[in-house]
C-alpha cells in the first residue's frame, strides 16, 4: 500500500470525492488477482450499504458484499444487470450469489478489509473480520 488514505476531498462533476481505499495495480497483484481469492486492503473510512445489495457466500458461511461494479471484462455490464448476474458467474464449489435487501444500514468499519473479485472483476468486501470495529457477526460454526 502506498499513499495517505486520509486525503482531502476533491469535487468532480459536482460530486465530492475522497480516496478511501487503495488497491494495488494489476501488475502488483499478479498472481493474486484471481477471482474468489482474498486480497487485504487498507482503508481509512467506513463503508455503508442499505437497500438492494449483491452478495456472495463462501463455503465457510462468510458473506461478501459487492462494493464496486467493474466494466473491465464486460463493458456493457450495468447496475441493472446485477440482479441476474449469478448464473453468469463461474462460482467455485460451495459459493452462492444472492440479491439481498438490507432494511437497516450495514456498516463495515475496519482498517483492513478482505476483498475478492468475481469473474467480471466486481469487488466484494467480506462482511466479517475479527479485528473490525463494526461489521457483521461471525457466521455460526
Q: What is the pLDDT of residues 58-86, one digit of tens each?
A: 999 999 999 999 988 999 999 999 999 99
**Contact between 100 and 51 (Cβ < 8 Å):** no
pTM reported for the whole predicted model: 0.77
Mean pLDDT in residue range 114-122: 95
Gap between the Cα atoms of 103 and 105, Å rounded: 7
Amino acid at each position: 500500500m502506498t499513499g495517505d488514505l486520509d486525503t482531502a476531498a476533491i469535487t468532480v462533476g459536482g460530486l465530492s470525492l475522497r480516496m478511501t481505499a487503495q488497491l494495488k495495480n494489476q501488475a502488483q497483484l499478479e498472481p493474486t488477482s484471481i477471482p474468489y481469492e482474498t486480497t487485504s486492503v487498507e482503508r481509512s473510512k467506513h463503508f455503508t450499504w442499505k437497500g438492494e445489495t449483491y452478495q456472495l457466500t463462501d463455503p465457510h458461511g462468510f458473506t461478501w458484499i459487492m462494493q464496486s461494479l467493474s466494466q473491465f471484462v464486460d463493458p456493457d455490464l450495468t447496475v441493472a444487470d446485477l440482479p441476474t448476474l449469478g448464473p453468469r458467474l463461474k462460482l467455485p464449489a460451495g459459493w452462492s450469489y444472492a440479491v439481498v435487501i438490507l432494511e437497516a444500514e450495514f456498516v463495515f468499519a475496519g482498517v483492513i478489509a478482505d476483498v475478492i473479485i468475481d469473474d467480471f472483476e466486481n469487488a466484494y468486501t467480506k462482511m466479517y473480520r475479527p479485528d473490525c470495529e463494526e461489521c457483521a457477526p461471525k457466521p455460526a460454526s
